[in-house]
């Protein structure tokens, strides 16, 4: 788990520093946003 977390942090930092979109199709935060939205929609149903 620590290795995955470290790789995730490195990817986010790399994209942030390069100015890439963090929430776009290939963005580092896209899976996190997707999971959040899906869980929110499930809670509403």
The tens digit of pLDDT for each residue in 2-44 reads 888 899 999 999 999 999 999 998 999 999 999 999 999 999 8
Please give the distance of CA 34 from its chain centroid, rounded to a whole number: 8
**3-class SS of residue 38:** helix
From the list 31, 2, 29, the residue with the least C-alpha distance to 15 is: 29
Range of the domain at 26: 2-44
How many structural domains is the chain composed of?
A: 1
Is pTM beyond 0.75 here? no
If 0-12 CB within 10 Å is exposed, 13-18 middle and 19+ buried, where does residue 40 land?
exposed
Q: Under a CB-based contact definition with an 8 Å cutoff, are residues 30 and 24 in contact?
A: yes
């Amino acid at each position: 788990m620590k290795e995955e977390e470290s790789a995730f942090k490195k990817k986010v930092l790399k994209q942030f520093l390069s100015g890439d979109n963090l929430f776009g199709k290939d963005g580092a935060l896209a899976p996190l946003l997707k999971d959040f939205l899906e869980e929110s929609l499930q809670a509403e149903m």
